[in-house]
Structure 1
Amino acid sequence: MIPLEDNTDDIIGKARRGLGYAPEVLAKQAGLTKPQARALETGEFTEEVLRKVAPVLRLGADALVRGSRKEWYPEQPGPIGGFLAFNTTYEDMTVNAYLVWDQESRKAVVFDTGADCAPILAAVKEHKLAVELVLLTHAHVDHVVDLPKLLAATKAKAWINSRDADEEDFPKGVETFSAGQSFVLGKIRIETRLTNGHSAGQTTFVVRGLERLIAIVGDSLFAGSMGGGKISYADQLRTNRQEILTLPDDAVLAPGHGPLTTVAQEKANNPFFTGN
């Protein structure tokens, strides 16, 4: 079972930094006592403290409390024909990559590379697939680190949103696209949606043609959390709401870190989207 990417301290930290609150300002705005403020800074959360800070940080209090008690984990969708997920270790974290294919033509697309693309290549061989595309959610190193090996092995063409061109880890030898462009592999149609904020060109890929609608969301959104708004916290919240959470409730969300989830589960359990 892949752990949730963020704990309560991560969520509070992302919201606090995104809204520009210094710790002492947050404590004052939330009306915390000095002991409560010290507990908040050390991660010793109580329900009372969480319910005080949640509205200031525009987080859903009930979801925040459930998460702090580890009472929620997303129900997993089970096997989906033509879809595989890979979780590999990169430094002190794990990162996801995904493989999608048309079961008639055997044409395939890889989303991000993971820290090591060897498991992807093994699956491609096992299922007798022809990888034609590599689509990158964004240009952060943990998502593109094994791209040269993946491209050398598959001879596929890699694509990334042109808005990420200024990222330090922007990979060489890739084609660029603008959000709204579509890709087609047999019966698989892939729609691109700009879900920026974590990076300027962070893109969600909406995959249609499998037995379930799947959105490869990269670091836009995690099960029970979201990627930090490194470029714009406000944009990350806005684009997640407009471009991801408007998908059908049963759509499977495939994040760049942590477990799979669904739109319905995030609307009910993600503190960033159950508050005001």
Structure 2
Amino acid sequence: MNIPLEDNFTDVIGKAQRGLEISDSDLAKKARLDASAIRKLRRGHYDELALFRVAPVLGLGARALADLAQNEYRPEVREIDGLTMFNTPYHDMTVNAFLVWDPKSHEAIAFDTGADCRPILDRVKRDKLTVKLILLTHAHPDHIADLSRLKTQTGAPVYISEREAAFGAETISEGHEFNVGNLNVKALLTWGHSRGGMTFFVTGLARPIAVVGDSIFAGSMGGGNISYKEALKNNVEKILTLPDQTIICPGHGPMTTVGEEKAHNPFFVGRI
């Protein structure tokens, strides 16, 4: 499944500016650039000198940001046995949902619903899986748009962070663990993009998995709608400290790994 990156370099600059509350004029002054240079960057014009001056002001890795601007970063992560991603259109974007299962017991966990859960239900039927849990990374509409149908069709209980709410969902706190077949799932509170954003760390397959919602994207991160500072902190301390081979399953864009994002994500290069 060839899914484009969720953000380009201008998106990354914009998210950092908004999070740090730095205006274009302030950014130009701090980076020792003309305001016109900032406007050109924001419109997508690649200027290496301007980019390398702007990046440190915004706490971004300059080389990683340049690689993103020149389309030189693209993580190559394949699905493993017991993991499938579903990408569905939602208005003018697409959104991901995931199905993780124990290949021996065929017991499964659905993570979010995407805009349309029918592809999840088709895969469940095709592989004769039994969905035992529905776990929600957060309650933004694009991620739970088809929750009613998924819950009704599978009969599985639904769980979400105690700091958010979704119809028919029970709440859990950080550290809560689930066991499904040979799989263990641990809930990590990675809020900042949303008030109760959860990352679910799954072990029991060939590689560990982190279903992160909108906390981290390949080459970027979700906007710090609630707290940019806390979003960065939680991503660094709770996601990027997981083993490098951990597959990151984001709410938008392609899958990646902890190792890839530590090395190539402009928000995190040099922070760990």
TM-score (norm: length of structure 2): 0.97
- 8 Å contact kept, 2:24–2:35: no
Deviations 1:205-225 (A, max 9, x none): 000001110110110000000
Cross-structure match for 2:46: 45
Deviations 1:116-157 (A, max 9, x none): 000000000011011111000001000001000101110110
Given candidates 238, 262, 267, the residue that maps to 2:262 is 267
Cross-structure match for 1:79: 79
SS at match of 1:99: strand
- 8 Å contact kept, 2:25–2:35: no
1:1-276 matched pairs, under 5 angstroms: 1-76=2-77, 78-165=78-165, 171-275=166-270
Deviations 1:168-223 (A, max 9, x none): xxx21110000100011011100010111001110000000011101101100000
- 8 Å contact kept, 2:184–2:203: yes
Determine the C-alpha separation between the residues in 2 that align with 1:269 and 1:204: 21
Give how far 1:274 is off: 1.1
SS at match of 2:232: helix
Determine the C-alpha separation between the residues in 2 that align with 1:105 and 1:225: 36
Determine the C-alpha separation between the residues in 1 that align with 2:79 and 2:225: 33
Determine the C-alpha separation between the residues in 2 that align with 1:93 and 1:190: 29
RMSD of aligned alpha carbons: 1.0
- 8 Å contact kept, 1:23–1:41: no
- 8 Å contact kept, 1:249–1:264: yes
TM-score (norm: length of structure 1): 0.96
Gaps of 5+ in 1: 166-170
Determine the C-alpha separation between the residues in 1 that align with 2:39 and 2:226: 29
Give how far 1:103 is off: 1.8
Determine the C-alpha separation between the residues in 1 that align with 2:227 and 2:214: 13
Give 4+ residue runs of structure 1 displaced > 3 Å after superposition: none
- 8 Å contact kept, 1:107–1:185: yes
Q: How high is the sequence identity, in percent, across the aligned residues?
A: 54
Deviations 1:86-121 (A, max 9, x none): 101000111000001112221111000011000000
Gaps of 5+ in 2: none
Determine the C-alpha separation between the residues in 2 that align with 1:20 and 1:140: 23
Determine the C-alpha separation between the residues in 2 that align with 1:139 and 1:24: 35
